[in-house]
Amino acid sequence: MKLGACWYPEQHPESRWGDDVRRMSAAGLTLVRLGEFAWAALEPAPGEMDLAWLARAIDMAAEAGLGVVLGTPSAAPPRWLIRSHPEIRLVDVDGSPRAAGSRRMTCPTAPVYRESSARMARALVERFGHHPGVVAWQIDNEPGNHDSARCWCPACETAFRAWVAARYGELARLNDAWGTAFWSGQYGSWDELELPRRSSTVQSPSLLLAHRRFASHQVVSGLAEQRAIIAAGSAGRDILVNTYWDDTFVDARDVHEPAGIAAIDAYPHGVDGPEANAYLLDLARGSAGPSGRAWVMEQQPGPINWTALNPPVPPGQVRAWGWQAALHGMEASLFFSWRPTRSGQEQYHSGLVRHDGTDDRGLIEAAVLARELRAVADSAPEMLARPRARIAILHAYEDAWAIEIDPHQAGLTHRSLVQPVHAAVHRLGLDADILGPRDDLTGHTVVIAPALHLMSEDRLRRLREAIAAGALVILGPRSLVKDLDDCWLETPLPGGLAATLGAHVVESLSQTLPVTVVPGDAAAGPWTDVLEVDVADDDPEPVEVLARYGGPSYLAGSIAALRRGDLAYVGASSAEAWSTILAPLLIGRGLAVLPARVGVERFERGGRRIVLDHVALTIKGSPELDPGAA
């Protein structure tokens, strides 16, 4: 794994630049990202390009031995552009346009914004497309972040109407698909189809889901325009987009897969700890599609500034985060950022050096990490090759949107259902690949769909193909409940697979009772499905009850998990319940399950067992591994 830093020469005096890049290189960094917020410095006035300073910065970085990742600046358009074309401002749901002065304040549909972004990409690639120091490109930054995919401007409304019309064809079909008879929501003409504005209570989930799909599509199509321009002028370089890892504003799979490589932020303090970090790293690899290639484009280097508490980062933590990224198969990790700014919105965000330019602990640990990674790459490169896992976990942004729109329990998200399953697998010492429901599912021994909320014939077909190929398929709570328009199925659940399962879901509960899972006494989690068996005990393929609910409530003794042949259903949602139920199922499929442990990740890499301890902040290997000695 290569290491690098995000660098903002336009925010610092030029007299500092040479020293900056030489120190990066001396610390063992080999990549530097720049340019992605520098639009106003690159185009200070309409039609007036100033690329000379950027050329000097790129030359300096290249001379210092750094590979440049050059960003297009569309995330931070200049004030003059917004002032001369106020229609490019993003309009929020309350009708107020976003002001200049921050970032991601533009409408993803606005033609002038799209054309201006393309113009900048063209200018950069014409000048630097063949520069030997430019090793990769980044388009935009964190698309969708700050809820910037959805826009309520007139251009978006017109485009949305056209998008819906193209998808459904006839109004009668739309009314039927969305079930608009509810609350007199029928559309009598296309003009009546409006963006989901604030009303007395929530808008129709079908409309909201369509709007999420449309908004993501608009962002992705804008990125594709820039990607095509860069690809045409800078052959042989990876063209990445950096997505804010925990966002669901855009479908990151649609963003990354066309490039065959993903890039994400990794700010472990922005999510709840190392298990969430592990999940999001694997999700990034999955978002790239079959290549599984991913970078961490922004890695937390110390305390950050944008969460509620921004806690301290103890010694050893930055190194441990680096190892976690490497062991999850990241190809590169760039720290954000090299040096904190004296001005602007992120002054409390640490960098690798301090405001006064002296080495911060992040830089010292980055240098150690760089030495260790080099030593391992020389002596045991197989340690850094992430093997294909035997377990696949399904993830889809459409399902995430549907659950966000109608969560049934405040605060419950798709991640809060999928991540515990990933955590359970990791606690048992195993890797998991994260796939999409459109992927071929036949290459894994076990396929787990923890929250495959939406049902389609294509999704069912792929699950059946996995079973036919010999996989064990395990569904989680609220799987195959609604159709692709977010309307409830009127067949026994899980929709399309209840007959195969020989059982069905009788209650889908937002769980507030003290319910546990037996065997064991793990809490069942915030969502619980209760199952009932449909086939007789002497059926040629009987149902095996794997777990029941316990605790002092009416649910005690009811079925929490069951299996019939190669299809299983787990109604509980906590990581503890999943690891209890999963362990025997995985052992039954020949997987080397370890006793469950929390706070420690255990990897099998090239015949070597590696233990990354997130509490002690140590990494140990068997046979002996001491990267620190390198």
Give the nearest distance from C-beta 291 to Zn ion in angstroms.
33
Give the nearest distance from C-beta 162 to Zn ion in angstroms.
13
112 burial via Cβ count (<10 Å: 0-12, 13-18, 19+)? middle
User: From the candidates 142, 275, 365, 601, which is the catalytic residue?
Assistant: 142
Q: 135 to each of 65, 75, 235, how far by Cα in Å?
A: 12, 21, 10
Place of tokens 């484009």: 297
Q: How many CB atoms lie within 10 A of CB 364?
A: 15
Cβ proximity of 31 and 332 under 8 Å = yes
Closest CA to 68 of 115, 101, 103, 21: 21
For Zn ion, the closer CB: 121 or 151: 151
Give the nearest distance from C-beta 73 to Zn ion in angstroms.
20
157 is known as an active-site residue:
no
Number of helical (H) and strand (E) elements in the chain, helices listed first: 17, 22
Query: Could you give phi then psi for residue 139, rounded to 5 degrees?
Result: -95, 130
| Token pair listed for 410 | 């405040």
For Zn ion, the closer CB: 107 or 262: 107
For Zn ion, the closer CB: 21 or 107: 107
Place of tokens 């690899």: 285
Collapsing DSSP to helix, strand or coil, 547 comes out as strand
Positions in the binding site for Zn ion (CB under 5 A) = 107, 109, 151, 153, 156
Alpha helices (H) in 245-332, listed in sequence order: 252-256, 274-287, 317-327
Give the nearest distance from C-beta 219 to Zn ion in angstroms.
11
For Zn ion, the closer CB: 125 or 153: 153
Give the nearest distance from C-beta 102 to Zn ion in angstroms.
17
Q: 73 to each of 34, 105, 146, 322, 404, how far by Cα in Å?
A: 10, 13, 17, 27, 30
DSSP class per residue in 234-252: STTSEEEEEE-TT--SS-H
Give the nearest distance from C-beta 178 to Zn ion in angstroms.
22
Strand intervals (E) in 519-575: 522-523, 527-533, 544-550, 559-564, 567-570
Per-residue b/e over 211-244, b at no fewer than 16 CB within 10 Å? bbbbbbbbbbebbeebbebbbebbeebbbbbbbb
For Zn ion, the closer CB: 151 or 164: 151
Cβ proximity of 239 and 230 under 8 Å = yes
Give the nearest distance from C-beta 606 to Zn ion in angstroms.
50
Give the nearest distance from C-beta 144 to Zn ion in angstroms.
14
Per-residue b/e over 524-553, b at no fewer than 16 CB within 10 Å? bbbbbbbbebeeeeeeeeebeebbbbbeee
For Zn ion, the closer CB: 216 or 299: 216
For Zn ion, the closer CB: 164 or 559: 164
For Zn ion, the closer CB: 151 or 326: 151
For Zn ion, the closer CB: 89 or 339: 89
Closest CA to 138 of 241, 253, 264: 241
Strand intervals (E) in 154-304: 238-243, 262-266, 294-299
59 burial via Cβ count (<10 Å: 0-12, 13-18, 19+)? middle
For Zn ion, the closer CB: 207 or 547: 207
Give the nearest distance from C-beta 364 to Zn ion in angstroms.
46
Per-residue b/e over 160-179, b at no fewer than 16 CB within 10 Å? bbebbeeebeebeebbebbb
Task: Give the CA radius of gyration of the chain.
Answer: 25
Give the nearest distance from C-beta 238 to Zn ion in angstroms.
30
For Zn ion, the closer CB: 156 or 394: 156
298 is known as an active-site residue:
yes
Largest CA distance in the chain: 82
Q: How far apart are CA 456 and CA 483, in angstroms?
A: 6
| Token pair listed for 218 | 């608009």
User: From the candidates 298, 331, 365, 601, which is the catalytic residue?
Assistant: 298
Q: How far apart are CA 45 and CA 451, in angstroms?
A: 49
Q: Distance from CA of residue 515 to its chain's centroid?
A: 31
Give the nearest distance from C-beta 156 to Zn ion in angstroms.
3
Q: How far apart are CA 394 and CA 401, in angstroms?
A: 15
- Which residues are the active-site residues? 142, 298
